[in-house]
Structure 1
Amino acid sequence: MLEINKVSVLGAGVLGTQIAFQTAYSGLPVVVYDVSDEALAKSEAHMTELAQLYKQDGVVGADDGRTDAAFTRLSFTTDLAGAASEADLVIEAVPELLDVKRRLYTDLAKAAPGHTIFATNSSTLLPSDLKEFTGRPDRFLAIHYANLIWKRNLVEIMGTADTDPAVVAAAVSFAETTGMIPIEIKKEQAGYILNSLGVPFLFAAGKLWASGVADPKTIDRAWKIGSLAPQGPFEALDIIGLTTTYNIASNSEDPGVREFAAALKEQYIDEGKLGTMTGEGFYKY
Structure 2
Amino acid sequence: MADRADRGRREASSTLLPRDFAEATGRPDKYCALHFANLIWALNVAEVMAHPGTAADTLTQITEFAIEIGMVPIPVHREQHGYVLNTWVVPLLNAAQALVTNGVSTPEDVDRTFMIVNRGAPRGPMGTLDVIGMKTVYDVLAYWGAHNDDQQMLANAAYLKEKFLDQGKLGLQTGQGYYSYPEPAYADPDFLSVPQISSASDIAARAMLT
C-alpha contact (below 8 Å) 1:207/1:260 kept by paired residues: yes
1:259 corresponds to which residue? Answer: 155
Aligned residues: 172
Which structure 2 residue ranges, 5 or more long, are not aligned?
A: 182-210
5+ long unaligned stretches in structure 1: 1-96, 104-120
Q: Secondary structure at the match of 2:34?
A: strand
User: What residue in structure 2 maps to residue 250 of structure 1?
Assistant: 142
Distance 1:196 1:226, change over 3 A: same
In 1, Cα distance between equivalents of 2:174 and 2:117: 30
- Which moves more between the two structures, 207-216 or 158-167? 207-216
Match of 1:99 in 2: 5
1:174 is displaced (CA, Å) by: 1.4
1:138 pairs, out of 18, 29, 33, with: 29
CA positional deviation for 1:146: 1.2
2:15 is aligned with what amino acid?
A: T
CA distance in 1, matches of 2:133, 2:161: 12
Cα distance per residue 1:236-270 (max 9 Å; x no partner): 11111111111111112221111111110111011
SS in 2 for 1:123: helix
Structure having the larger proportion of residues in helix: 2
Q: Give the secondary-structure state (helix, strand or coil) at the position aligned to 1:282.
A: coil
Cα gap change, 1:101/1:176 in structure 2, threshold over 3 Å: closer, same or farther? Answer: farther
C-alpha deviation, 1:129, in angstroms: 2.8
Following TM superposition, by how much is the alpha carbon of 1:200 offset from its aligned partner in structure 2, in angstroms?
Answer: 0.9
2: CA distance, partners of 1:128 / 1:225:
40
- Is residue 213 from structure 1 mapped to residue 134 from structure 2 by the alignment? no
C-alpha displacement of 1:130: 3.0
Give TM-score, length-normalised by structure 1. Answer: 0.56
The alignment partner of 2:32 has SS state of: strand
Kindly provide the CA deviation profile for residues 144-190 of structure 1, in whole angstroms up to 9, marking residues without a partner as x. Answer: 10111111111000011111222211211211222212122121122
Q: CA deviation at 1:215?
A: 2.2
Instruction: Report SS of the residue matched to 1:149.
Output: coil
Question: Are the aligned partners of 1:146 and 1:154 in contact in 2 as well (CA < 8 Å)?
Answer: yes
Aligned residue for 2:173?
A: 277
What's the CA shift for 1:98? 3.6
Q: CA deviation at 1:218?
A: 2.0
Amino acid at match of 1:233: P
1:137–1:255 Cα change, 3 Å: farther
Are 2:8 and 2:16, in contact at CA under 8 Å, matched by a contact in 1? no
Q: Distance in 1 between matches of 2:170 and 2:35?
A: 21
- 1:86-132 CA-to-partner distances (Å, cap 9, x unmatched) read xxxxxxxxxxx9424779xxxxxxxxxxxxxxxxx932222223334
Identical-residue share of aligned pairs (%): 44
Matched with 2:47 is 156
Aligned to 1:202: 93
When residues 268 and 160 of structure 1 are mapped into structure 2, their CA distance, relative to the original with a 3 A threshold, is same
**Distance 1:98-1:262 versus aligned 2 partners, 3 A rule:** farther
TM-score, normalised relative to structure 2: 0.74
Question: Which residue number corresponds to residue 268 of structure 1?
Answer: 164
CA contact (8 A) 1:122 1:142 kept: no
Say if 2:30 and 2:54, in contact at 8 Å, map to a contact too. Answer: yes
Residue 69 (structure 2) aligned to one of 150, 159, 178:
178
Per the alignment, do residues 100 and 137 of structure 1 end up closer, same or farther by CA in structure 2, a change over 3 Å counting?
A: farther
